[in-house]
């Protein structure tokens, strides 16, 4: 058998929609074996979407796999990428965690393995900390916790590695907002304001610029030159591209809405997800990260691993924010946990 051959997709079982309040309805799909070990997949972003590839990463013959489009993203409605002013105030980590729990109850699942990629790993940890009794295990790839340190790095600090691209990103904010390099207004907040402005042309210009920047730093270490977020210059901005940029900046400007997540559980204010790790210290987990991930340096994965006694950390030296070796580690982790 070719070691590089892709596993087959877990067969799709069905799709559904679930009203979750605030006028929102989330879309979800199930695949694999309906009698298998329940597992949840959380996509990246915020504002990403389900792509069929995630269904390759579980043993299809013994996993009941659930994927959902997070509030405002993908097939869920209303879309955060609709043209014109969009109210995203009812879209926070607390809302998403509640949506996941509502979906678990809808499907009659007692507890499941929770998988998350990039932003999805932040959301997976937040959900696990809120509902540790509902989590059988955790698998994370391209590990993030969306702390202020991480947001400042990915939106400004990493510009030291990509000065040409970052200069273009900053220039648009300087032209249309009070943002000034070295000033008090964070660049991500400047983009949040542009992406929620009433001027549709400004919104689309900001979405176009933000998505170009995303592709610039995400691609390093992945072996990919293709742009996954950016819209070609001769094409109009899509609803997905607009919603992705809008939700990313909405969340990042507020440190993922997790800066004080652990406070009700006795952690220090501002300690975020790291301060709540004692709640899931016993939950088996595999954390997979690329050494060359300039978007999210390995420090976060290392800190979470040190605070998570039941976790294993897999650092892939030759890859960045994803790659085939990291995906194989994910597949091996799911093979082990479902057994």
Q: Residue 1's pLDDT is what? A: 40
Q: Is residue 103 part of a domain?
A: yes
Q: Which domain does 172 fall in, by range?
A: 154-256
| Whether residue 52 is found in the same domain as residue 185 | no
Of 33, 99, 255, 293, which residue is the catalytic one?
293
Of 43, 95, 305, 321, which residue is the catalytic one?
321
Separation CA 100–CA 50 (nearest Å): 15
Before 78, cis peptide (omega within 30)? yes
Cβ atoms within 10 Å, residue 331: 16
Domain boundary among 256, 272, 289: 256
| Whether residue 333 is found in the same domain as residue 289 | yes
Specify which residues 39 forms β-bridges with: 65, 113
| Whether residue 142 is found in the same domain as residue 264 | yes
Q: Residue 2's pLDDT is what? A: 52
Separation CA 330–CA 115 (nearest Å): 9
What b-and-e string marks burial along 96-122, b requiring 16 or more CB atoms within 10 Å of the CB?
bbbbbeebbeebeeeebbbbbbbbbbb
Separation CA 146–CA 155 (nearest Å): 12
CATH of the domain at 329: 3.40.50.1820
| Whether residue 178 is found in the same domain as residue 223 | yes
Burial of 156 (0-12, 13-18, 19+ CB in 10 A): middle
- Which residue stretches of the chain have pLDDT < 70? 1-4, 221-230, 234, 259-271
87 has catalytic annotation: no
Q: Is residue 79 part of a domain?
A: yes
321 has catalytic annotation: yes
Domain boundary among 256, 277, 302: 256
Of 69, 79, 118, 145, which residue is the catalytic one?
118
Q: Give the N- to C-terminal CA distance of the chain in Å, as an integer.
A: 23
Cβ atoms within 10 Å, residue 139: 28
Domain boundary among 256, 291, 310: 256
What pTM does this model have? Answer: 0.94
| Interval 288-307: pLDDT, tens | 999 999 999 999 999 999 99
| Interval 227-276: pLDDT, tens | 566 677 768 999 999 999 999 999 999 999 986 555 454 445 556 899 89
Give the residue from 105, 34, 104, 101 showing the smallest Cα distance to 63: 34
118 has catalytic annotation: yes
| Whether residue 95 is found in the same domain as residue 234 | no
Q: Is residue 242 part of a domain?
A: yes
What is the number of structural domains in the chain?
A: 2
């Amino acid at each position: 058998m070719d070691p590089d051959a892709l596993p087959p997709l877990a067969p799709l079982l069905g799709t559904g929609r679930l009203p979750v309040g605030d006028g929102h309805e989330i879309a979800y799909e199930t695949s694999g074996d309906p009698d298998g070990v329940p597992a949840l997949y959380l996509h990246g972003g915020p504002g990403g979407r389900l792509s069929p590839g995630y269904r390759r990463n579980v043993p299809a013959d013994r996993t009941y796999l659930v994927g959902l489009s997070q509030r405002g993203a993908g097939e869920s409605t209303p879309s955060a990428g609709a043209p014109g002013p969009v109210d995203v105030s009812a879209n926070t980590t607390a809302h998403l965690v509640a949506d996941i729990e509502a979906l678990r109850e809808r499907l009659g699942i007692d507890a499941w393995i929770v998988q998350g990629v990039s932003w999805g790993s932040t959301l997976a940890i937040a959900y696990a900390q809120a509902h540790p009794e509902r989590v059988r295990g955790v698998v994370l790839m391209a590990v993030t916790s969306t702390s202020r340190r991480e947001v400042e790095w990915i939106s400004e600090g990493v510009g030291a590695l990509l000065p040409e691209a970052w200069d273009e990103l900053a220039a648009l904010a300087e032209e249309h907002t009070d943002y000034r390099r070295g000033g008090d207004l964070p660049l991500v907040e400047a983009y949040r304001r542009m992406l929620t402005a009433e001027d549709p042309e400004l919104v689309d210009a900001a979405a176009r610029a933000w998505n170009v920047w995303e592709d610039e730093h995400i691609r390093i270490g992945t072996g990919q030159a293709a742009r996954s977020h950016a819209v070609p210059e001769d094409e109009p901005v899509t609803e997905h591209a607009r919603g992705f940029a809008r939700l990313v900046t909405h969340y990042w400007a507020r440190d993922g809405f997790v800066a004080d997540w652990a406070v009700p559980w006795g952690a220090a204010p501002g300690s975020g997800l790291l301060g709540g790790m004692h709640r899931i210290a016993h939950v088996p987990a595999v954390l997979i990260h690329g050494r060359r991930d300039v978007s999210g340096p390995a420090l976060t994965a290392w800190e979470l691993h040190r605070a998570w006694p039941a976790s294993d950390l897999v650092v892939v030296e030759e890859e960045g924010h994803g790659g085939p070796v990291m995906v194989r580690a994910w597949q091996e982790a799911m093979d082990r946990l479902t057994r």
